[in-house]
Structure 1
Amino acid sequence: MPIAASADHAVVGIIANPVSARDIRRVIANASNLAIADRVNIVLRVLTALASLGVSRVLMMPDKGGIRAMLLRHLRREHNLHHRFPEVEFLAMDPSSTVDDTFMAARMMRAAGVKAIVVLGGDGTHRAVVRECSDIPIAGLSTGTNNAFPEMRESTICALAVGLYATGRIAPEVALAPNKLLEVSINEGQRHDVALVDAVISTERFTGARALWKTESLAAIYLAFADPQAIGLSAVGGLLQPVGRRDPGGLAIQLSAEPSMCRVVLDAPIAPGMVRPVGIAHWEAMPAGREFAVVQGSGVVALDGERELAFDRGDRVRITLRENAFPTVDVARCMQTAAAQGLFRHSSP
C-alpha cells in the first residue's frame, strides 16, 4: 500500500504538558527537566510523521508555558519553506496551568472525535488523560519525572504508529493493546480516582508538595504493573516481584519502617538519581476485580507519584485492579506489521 493512501480525514490529538518534570523530586535528585524548546521539537517531529501518513488535522491543548507560542512560530517558518504539516488547531479553552487543562483538553478531543491522543508528560499527565477519556487510544511520550507508564521511544516512530492506526492502515485489533489500571474508592465511591501504575498510601495527612518521595512515610503500594527497569515507587515492586503490563493481575505491598516488622529491606530507585531503602513487611498478588482494603487509619493516597486523596479515620478506602481498562497504541506491533505488509513501500517510477 503506498504511503499516500486516503486518511479519511483522520484527526489526532496532542496533549503536551509544559510543566511535567518540574516537581520537588527533580530538585532534590539533581535531575534536569525538559526545556520548552525540546518539547516543541518533539511535537514538530510528531507532526512531520503524521503528515507523512496523510493525517490532515491535529487538535492541540493550548498552554501558557510557551509551547503554543514557540510552535506557531516554527510552523509559520516551516510553512514558508514549503514543509508539510497537518493543520494544527488549538482547542478553544482558557488554560489555567493546572491539571484541569489536561482534563478539559481530553474531554474536548473526545467530543471532537479524535482517533488517538499523543501525550507528552509523565505518569500523572497520562493518568489525567485516561481518567477523562478511557475509550480513546493514547500513545505516550516520556517527558515527566517518573515515566513508568509512557515507554521511552523516539517521537517520530511513535507518531508513525499512531498515523498507521488513525488512517485505517492497521486495524484496531492489531494496532491497540489493552491496559490495566487501579480504581481508588473512598466511602463507596463518594470520592474516587484512578492510577495507571501505582496507588501509594502515605501516613502524611496533607497533600502539600504533591510529589511523593519520603519513603519513611509510606505504608502500602498497590501496583497495576511492576517493571524492574522503572523509576519511581513502582520500582519497589519491580525489584521485589516483577509484573508485566500485559500480565494478569497486579501486586500489593505492605511497608514498614520498623525493622522487626520487615521481611526484607529493598534499595529502590524512587526518583531519578535517588536510591532509598524501603522496608517490606508483606506482599501478595493482586487479582483483577478483588477489592483491597487500606488498613492505614488516616493519610493520603498518592496516584502515580502525586498525592491526591486525603482520608481520615472512619473512611473506607478500597483499591481494585481493573484489566482491559483502556487502550494504547502498540507502537512495536504497528511498526512490525507495517514492515511485514510493506506499508511504507512505493512502486519504482
Structure 2
Amino acid sequence: MGEAVAGIVANPASERDIQSLRSALRVAGVGRVMVWTDAGKIIGTVRRMVDAGASVIICLGNATMMRAAAAACGDVPLLMLPAGGADESAVAGLAAGLVATHQVDTDLVTNRATVLEVVTKARREIALTDVSVCSESRWDPASLTELYCTFAVPDGVGLSSIPGRLCPSPKSTVDGVAVSLGPVDETPYVVQAPIAPGEVRAVGVRGWSVLHAGVRVDLAAAGGSIALDGQPHFVLKPGESAFVELKPDGPWCVDVRAVMAEATRTGLLLGRKPAEVLPRPRLADARFPG
C-alpha cells in the first residue's frame, strides 16, 4: 500500500491554518500533502488531486470554494472548514489524516450530504445549504420570496435559521425544507432569525413544507435574483424559467467529531512508553499530611 495522500484547497490568506493542517496531517501519517492556494480553477484542481490519489480533500475557505470542491471531489471524503482558527484547523487536520490513512472506518465517520441543484436553460449550479429567491433583480433579504434548504436547525446561523425556528430538519434526514416568504406586515408568521453573522432580522413567513429529494420545484420569481448559500449568484431574465431540486448524492463529508470519538474509542491517539523506561510509581508510597 502506497503513501497516504491528502489535498488542501485554501485561500492564500489562510497560511497559518494551512500550516496547522499540514502539521496535523503529518502527525496522522499522511505522506504527501498537495496544496492549492488560488481562489480560481478549484474544480479542475480538486479533480487532479483525486486523480493523483488523494484519499481526503480539505477545503478551507468560503462557500464559493466549498461548492466548487463539492462538485469535483466525487466519492473522496471532503472536509469543509471555514477559514479563521488555527486551533480548529489542527483538530480538523488530525481527523482528515486519520481518514486519509484509513485508520478509521470511513463508513462510520462520513455522511453523504444532500445538495440543492438550480437549473435554468443556460446554467446548472449547486448549493450546499440554501437557495434563496428575491423578487428584485438586486438581491436583498428584505425582498425574499422563496427559500429552499438542505437542512434547518434551531441553533443555525444563515438563511437556514429561518425554517430552523419553525420546522427543524436535521442533517441526518434526506429531506429538506421549502419556505414561502414575504413582508412582515403581510405574513401570518414572523421569525427573528440570525440570517448572517451578527445580523438578526425579522423575517415574514407565509408557510413551509417538506422538500423531498428528487422532486423538481419550479421557481416562481422570473426576472428576480437567486442566491446560493446566502451569496447573490445570478439574475433570471424576464420570462426565464428555473427549477430547484434536492439531490441526495452530494459529497461524502467528514464528521470531525465522529472521527475523534472513534479514534479515542479505539485508542489510536494513546501511546505508551516501553515498561523499562517508565519511572517507578510513587503514588502508593506518598504520605499525605493530616
Q: Sort the TM-score into its range (normalised by shorter chain).
A: 0.7 to 0.9
Rate the CA distance shift 1:153–1:319 in 2: closer, same or farther, 3 A.
farther
Q: Write the distance in 1 (CA, Å) between the matches of 2:258 and 2:230.
A: 29
Q: Name 2:82's counterpart in structure 1.
A: 142
Tell me the amino acid that sits aligned with residue 231 of structure 1.
V
Q: Equivalent of 2:25, from 50, 67, 84?
A: 50
Percentage of pairs with the same residue? 32
Partner AA of 1:44 in structure 2: Q
Among candidates 128, 137, 151, match of residue 205 of structure 1: 137
1:103 aligns with 2:43: yes
Q: Secondary structure at the match of 2:91?
A: helix
2:10 corresponds, among 16, 29, 52, to 16
Kindly provide the amino acid, as one letter, of the partner of residue 228 in structure 2. L
Residues 177-202 of structure 1 show CA distances to partners (whole Å, capped at 9, x for unaligned) of 11111111113xx4111000000112
Q: Distance in 1 between matches of 2:123 and 2:58?
A: 28
Opposite residue 236 of structure 2, the aligned amino acid is F
Aligned residues: 274
Q: Report 1:164-243 matches (<5 A).
A: 164-187=98-121, 190-205=122-137, 214-243=140-169
Give unmatched runs, 5+ long, in structure 1: 1-6, 19-35, 64-97, 145-151, 207-211
1:315 aligns with 2:240: yes
User: Aligned residue for 2:264?
Assistant: 339
Question: What is residue 125 of structure 1 aligned with on the other side?
Answer: 65
Q: For structure 2, list consecutive stretches of 5 or more residues without a partner in the other structure.
A: 275-290
Matches for 1:292-307 after TM superposition, within 5 Å? 292-307=217-232
Who wins on radius of gyration, i.e. which is larger? 2
Q: Secondary structure at the match of 1:233?
A: coil
Secondary structure at the residue paired with 2:248?
A: strand
Q: Which of residues 206, 219, 226 in structure 2 aligns to 1:281? A: 206
Deviation, structure 1 residue 108: 2.4
Report if aligned partners of 1:141, 1:153 keep a CA contact under 8 Å in 2.
no
Shift of 1:220: 0.7
The answer to whether structure 1 residue 114 and structure 2 residue 89 are counterparts is: no
Contact 1:198 1:224 (8 Å CA) reproduced: yes
Shift of 1:105: 2.4
TM-score, length-normalised on structure 2? 0.87
Quote the Cα distance in structure 2 between the aligned partners of 1:153 and 1:247. Answer: 30
Partner of 1:21: none
**Distance in 1, Cα, partners of 2:141 & 2:270:** 52
